[in-house]
A and B are shown apart, each in its own frame.
Chain A
Amino acid sequence: DQQVKQNSPSLSVQEGRISILNCDYTNSMFDYFLWYKKYPAEGPTFLISISSIKDKNEDGRFTVFLNKSAKHLSLHIVPSQPGDSAVYFCAASANFGGAGRRALTFGSGTRLQVQP
């Protein structure tokens, strides 16, 4: 049972436009969320994160939005550039208090293609 879901396997946008990547989760214990970017033949690299006490975090062209009631987060890239073409993974972590924090649970990824 996938607790973190990225329902769109791929997305294609024009250079300069906005890219919106979506992620849904089922575990209400998740309290920290991250987005990773992955190029072919490389490992994922950290992009941006958000704590559950916030609903928005911005870093340059990248903004992550969190809707806790809907258990949904999204990554916005504005403006999109050809170099943004990669696979984007959503990840989440839960804190079980005395039992400690669990390792990151990842979604299946969305392949973004930015057309010049």
Chain B
Amino acid sequence: DARVTQTPRHKVTEMGQEVTMRCQPILGHNTVFWYRQTMMQGLELLAYFRNRAPLDDSGMPKDRFSAEMPDATLATLKIQPSEPRDSAVYFCASGLDPDNFESYTFGSGTRLTVV
């Protein structure tokens, strides 16, 4: 059963520390998304890759967030320095291609708490 794997599942860190979240997309999926879920905003798009190239990262605070795909099997989301307002659940999703919405599969998320 193909699935998107996110690590770690939970992360507690102190304000100012660097945080790296990882995502392994489903093999064969060429589209990867990072979303953040907060109580107030629901699911917000942070970044969106197709064939490892960033297509849209307009939702991401550029001064502290960065998203990369070093290879087709790994996507990373980094926060440096982290702040308490970054506390949220971060979801990675992958899809066969951008137009194939029904193929989008979400991971179980990384719950980040910044104290």
Chain A residues engaging chain B, CB cutoff 8 angstroms: 2, 6, 32, 34, 41-46, 49, 89, 91, 93, 100-109
Contacts and interface: CB of A to CB of B under 8 A. Distances in A.
B42 A49 contact: no
B43 A106 contact: yes
17 contacts: A32-B101, A34-B101, A34-B102, A41-B108, A42-B109, A43-B91, A43-B106, A45-B106, A46-B101, A89-B43, A102-B56, A103-B98, A105-B45, A106-B42, A106-B45, A108-B40, A108-B42
B45 A104 contact: yes
Given A43-B108, A105-B45, 16 more contacts: A41-B109, A42-B109, A44-B43, A45-B106, A46-B101, A49-B102, A89-B42, A93-B101, A101-B98, A103-B33, A103-B45, A103-B55, A106-B35, A106-B42, A108-B40, A108-B42
At the interface, is chain B mostly helix, strand, loop or mixed?
strand
Interface in B75-103: 91, 93, 98-99, 101-102
Contact of A43 (B44, B55, B109): B109
Interface of B: 4, 33, 35, 40-45, 48, 55-56, 91, 93, 98-99, 101-102, 104-109
- The 10 A-B residue pairs with the shortest CB-CB distance in the complex, in nearest-first order: A43-B106, A108-B42, A106-B43, A103-B48, A44-B106, A103-B45, A109-B42, A43-B107, A43-B108, A101-B98
A6 B101 CA distance: 20
A93 B98 CA distance: 10
A54 to B, nearest CB: 15
Nearest to B106: A43
A49 B41 CA distance: 22
